[in-house]
Each structure stands twice: as C-alpha cells, then as structure tokens.
Structure 1
Amino acid sequence: MDQDLFEYLQSYLTDRRKTLFKEVLAQRTRHFTVVTEDVYQLHNTSAVMRSCDVFGIQDLHVVEELEGKRVDKEIAMGAQKWVSLHRYNTIESCMHTLRKKGYKIIATTPHNDSTMLQDLDVQPRTAFFFGKEDTGLSDSVIDNADGFLKIPMYGFTESLNISVSAAIVLQDVVSRARNQGVDWQLSEKEKQELELEWTKRSIKSVDEIIKRYKANKNS
C-alpha cells in the first residue's frame, strides 16, 4: 500500500470518520462469509448485504446464473460502500473459489439431515449458502456441501425469508465465535487495505484527486 497516498487521502476525512473506520475494522471478520444463489427478489439480496454489514461480515458472494441484478442501494442503506461484493456466473466457480480460501460449504436448508443452528461448530472458516426464495439451493450446492444447517422453527411455516434467515444465522455464529475464542479478526494487512478502500469511497471525485496527487509527486 502507498502509505503517502493513504495519508494524503485521509486528510480529506474528518477525525470522526477516521476513528469510526478503525473501530469498525476492529470488528470485521472473514471467518464467516455469505453466498446468495440466484435470489431473484432484489430487495432480499440488498437486505442480506445490510445484515452482513451489521454483523461485521466483510464479504458477500452473489451467484447470478439466472438472475442478473444490481444491489438496491436504498435497501442496502449504504452497506454497499463497506461490504465487499463478489459476483459469479456459476455456483461451481463460487464454491471452488471459497474452498481454495479454506471455507467449509454449509448449505442452509430445512430439509435433509441438517444441523440445528445452535449446534453448529463455529471454529472452522465457514461460508453460508442461501438459495432462491421458492426452491432453495440448487442440487450443485446440496450435492457438494460439507454440511447442512437449519434454524429451529416451531410453527406451521417451514421457511423464513432469506434476509431474515441470514440475519439470524449471522447473529448467532458471530456471537458464539467471539465468546469461544475463535481467531475471527482481520489481519493488519486486510485492515489497511480496507481502510484505504473505504477512504477512497468516502471522497468525492477521488480519481481526480489521486491523479493530481501523482502528477504533483512526479513533477
């Protein structure tokens, strides 16, 4: 990272914003991540992104084999500036990428021999997969998952809205990981990279500012 550039850009931020960045980064995690597969109701993906931000999840992976969508900025309520969004055209490429990064693939489904949420081991690095609102996850995910997860329910309805499900799962696993001494925090390098990215996203016409900075530095 160009430390001089970083410090120059930070001069455009208030002390309050710089302090907030460090406070939030101290709570961010990549120990858990979330994947949505062909969620065709736009507001659901946007709401999941908002939940990721609220519970400190840095990465949201969106698979759009059938439904190409943009994140609804109004529903995400600014979360798109702070959560790293990764898009995929196929579920296979998404699973392959996450496995290479050391994630267990956990399919959220009320069916199969699923583990109850409170019984899930939070020690491993875990990617939670959420499927379509009507049919759930694809066979590709179900057939290749490392495990299955369901939220305890006690009524007639057997499923929850995807954004509600994601919020319940994240609140539970994040809280338990913190209480069980899991090494969930970002590395210092990751924090620095994100702080630079967030700083850029907080400054209007940042590309022009960087261009002028580099021109002056080289003159």
Structure 2
Amino acid sequence: MEQRDAAADTTGHEQRRAPYDPMPHGPAEVGVGPWPGPWPAGEQYDPQLLAHGDRRNVVDRYRYWSLEAIVADLDTRRHDFHVAIENWQHDFNIGTIVRSANAFLAAEVHIVGNRRWNRRGAMVTDRYQHVRHHPTVADLAAHLHGLPGGPVTLLGIDNLPGSRHLETMSVPRRVCFLFGQEGPGLSAGAREVVDGTFSIAQFGSTRSINASAAAAIAMHTWIREHADLTGDATWRG
C-alpha cells in the first residue's frame, strides 16, 4: 500500500512526521504552522495552507503555495533533459527515479510499457513532475525526435560494446536518459532505437549498479555540465 503523504490533506490536521522526512531525529513536526498575522497577497497562496499550516516536504520558496502554483513556477525553469524508464516488471526503482528527476528539475519523465507504475519511491514528488506514458520505446523515440525546438537525443545506459564513457563524454543539452529494468537492463527494442548508449565506470566486484543510482548519476552529470548554479537558481536542501 502506498504511503500517505502527511501533507496531502491541506487542512494541516496531520501532525505526525511525514514518512519521507529525511531528518527523523529533528522536531516532531515538519513544515510550518498557520501564517502569523495578516495573510500575504498573491494568487500563488493556498488559503487552506495559510490557515492551517504547510506540512509538505517543499523548499521554503514554495511554503503556503498551492500545488498548481508550484508546478507553474517549476515549468518556467525546467531543464532540457528528460528521463525515461522501461516499465515491464513494475520496477520499484521507478518512483525513486521520479523523485531524483524532480530534484534535478527534468523537463519530463517518460514511462515506457505498462501504464501503471510503482509510485512508492516517488514520495509524492510525481505531483510536481510531468510524467508521460508511451506504449513502446519506438513511440518514445518518435515523440522525442519530433519535439518543438529540435530532436532530443535518446541515450540508453547499458554496458554494451561501443557504449561511451559517461565520465568523459559531452552530454547533449537536449537529451533523454533511458533506463531499463533492474537486472536485465535495456530491452532489445530499446537497443534498436536509441541514438547511443553510455556506461558508468565501476571498480568493484559486481557488473552493474542500482538503476535509480545510475539515473541520479546521469542526471547530475547533466547538471554539472549545463545547469545554472548562480544566484537563486539552485538551493541545497
């Protein structure tokens, strides 16, 4: 059963620590209480949150903002990279990848295969992230190659012969990282349609790393190369 977000109910009556709170030994409550004093003006503010408090796991910039206002603001700043995950086995890693995509502000997340996916690891961040479904990888590739502004390069991660080294390659600005299922990796159909593959250097005894960890590494590689790290364009938790 999917965990309930303690802040999903905007009445503020849920006082328990949210299940995704990264600091379990901190204060008993997360977020902020009712707005003290006269309410601020602005369409972005949610009256229910102002009245009862905002217990969501959001950065201070978005305290008391409505969900719709947060998504609208994020849409003005989203990055040029996409993330896609094959979903043939209801992989539990998908939710975690969505959470990382939200943290790094991906343009979109694409689910390929089964429409239903395991949201548990997303920790409700899918509410703030655009998620699109495609029946096949070929459908995904057609969508990416036909986007306004020019085609988006589709790169898969797999340690196949000819895969480029992520550590030394120049990551395209307009790119979609495609990840296969935990274990089997990219499907045969995916290998046929991707524009290329890359691998992540490893030095231990196993031949692969967790899919969600690999996705976070790839996204952060894009951030290091292309993201604006000045001013208030970024925050550090």
TM-score for both structures, normalised by structure 2: 0.63
Residues 112-160 of structure 1 deviation map (CA, whole Å, 9 limit, x = unaligned): 2111112222344101111122221122221222221111101121111
The sequence identity of aligned pairs, in percent, is 22
Greater relative CO, 1 or 2 (CA 8 Å, sep 6+): 1
Structure 2 distance, partners of 1:50, 1:11, is 24
Structure 1 distance, partners of 2:164, 2:97, is 22
What are the within-5 Å matches in structure 2 for residues 73-152 of structure 1? 74-101=120-147, 102-152=151-201
Per the alignment, residue 28 of structure 1 pairs with 78
Which of structure 1's runs of 4+ aligned residues deviate more than 3 A?
Answer: 7-27
Q: How many residues are matched? A: 172
The one-letter amino acid paired with 2:223 is V
What are the within-5 Å matches in structure 2 for residues 1-219 of structure 1? 10=45, 12=47, 14=50, 16-18=63-65, 21=70, 24=74, 27-29=77-79, 31-64=80-113, 67-72=114-119, 74-101=120-147, 102-178=151-227
Structure 2 distance, partners of 1:9, 1:56, is 20
Per the alignment, residue 23 of structure 2 pairs with none
Note the residue ranges of structure 1 that are not aligned, 5 or more in a row: 1-6, 186-219
Do the aligned partners of residues 68 and 25 (structure 1) sit closer, same or farther apart at CA in structure 2, a change above 3 Å counting? closer
RMSD value, Cα: 2.9
SS at match of 1:49: helix
SS at match of 2:132: strand
Could you say which structure has the higher helix fraction? 1
Residues 35-83 of structure 1 deviation map (CA, whole Å, 9 limit, x = unaligned): 111252442111110110111113110011xx453342x4211211001
Residues 156-180 of structure 1 deviation map (CA, whole Å, 9 limit, x = unaligned): 2111111111011111211211269
Shift of 1:91: 1.6
Note the residue ranges of structure 2 that are not aligned, 5 or more in a row: 1-41, 51-61
